[in-house]
Amino acid sequence: MEQNQDKTELFLSLLMANQRSISSYISILVPCFEDANDILQETIAVMWKKFDQYAAGTDFAAWGVKIAYFLILHYRRDKTKKIVFFNEDLFSQINAVAEQKYGQSDEKLKALRSCIGKLDMPERHILELKYEMNNSVRSIAQRLGKSIQSTYRLFSKVHLLLHNCILRQLLEERSNI
């Protein structure tokens, strides 16, 4: 029993440290947040089920990403009648990029927090409306009295600002290493 408790603790601690990376990987290949969240949960379930096969000391996130990849293939096969997916070639290319990028999640989150702090208040406000209060772009448009299209453009502008800021931040940090 005590051994099982230790195993659980170990799994949880590894998961807490690496869940963000695995989640980032999934989000690149499965843009829809709800579906990505489902796949993340399934990935965690499979990782727990197979935890005995995990070699201690090896890259936990990489192991989780391999499992997630499999589940994403299954998801694409399963939903192919309901959702239009990218073609296989493009999917493979995006996957290659995702494999490179997921490990940068923590430093990216740090840069993101810093960059959000540099946004003007109205821009931060609409991010709060969407990501903190879980409003859709449509409902935000209604609240702001804007058209849906212009609200999407507004979000695009804010995300582009953040993207450029994050890039600069990461470049600065890496050049300081």
- What the block records as the tokens of 56 is 């201690």
* Least distance from another protein to the Cβ atom of residue 158, Å: 9
First-to-last alpha carbon distance for the chain, in angstroms, is 45
The verdict on 147 binding another protein (CB under 8 A) reads: no
130 contacts 76 by C-beta, under 8 angstroms: no
Hunting for tokens 């989150």 — which residue is that? 109
With 0-12 / 13-18 / 19 or more C-beta atoms within 10 angstroms meaning exposed / middle / buried, residue 65 is buried
Nearer to another protein, 12 or 172 (CB): 12
| Count of residues touching another protein (by CB under 8 A) | 94
The verdict on 90 binding another protein (CB under 8 A) reads: yes
Chain positions 42 to 81 lying near another protein, rule: CB under 8 A, are 42, 44-46, 48-50, 53, 59, 61-63, 65-67, 69-71, 73-74, 77
* Least distance from another protein to the Cβ atom of residue 101, Å: 6
Count of alpha carbons within 13 angstroms of residue 53, beta-carbon side: 8
Of 147, 144, 104, nearest to 122 by C-alpha is 144
Identify the residue among 118, 143, 163, 168 touching another protein (CB under 8 A).
Answer: 163
The verdict on 120 binding another protein (CB under 8 A) reads: no
Q: What is d(CA 25, CA 102) in angstroms, rounded to the nearest whole number? A: 5
Q: What is d(CA 153, CA 159) in angstroms, rounded to the nearest whole number? A: 10
Identify the residue among 10, 123, 126, 127 touching another protein (CB under 8 A).
Answer: 127
> Alpha-carbon dihedral of residues 88, 91, 96, 97, nearest 10 degrees?
160
Nearer to another protein, 74 or 143 (CB): 74
The verdict on 89 binding another protein (CB under 8 A) reads: yes
* Least distance from another protein to the Cβ atom of residue 122, Å: 14
* Least distance from another protein to the Cβ atom of residue 145, Å: 20
Identify the residue among 2, 3, 5, 145 touching another protein (CB under 8 A).
Answer: 5
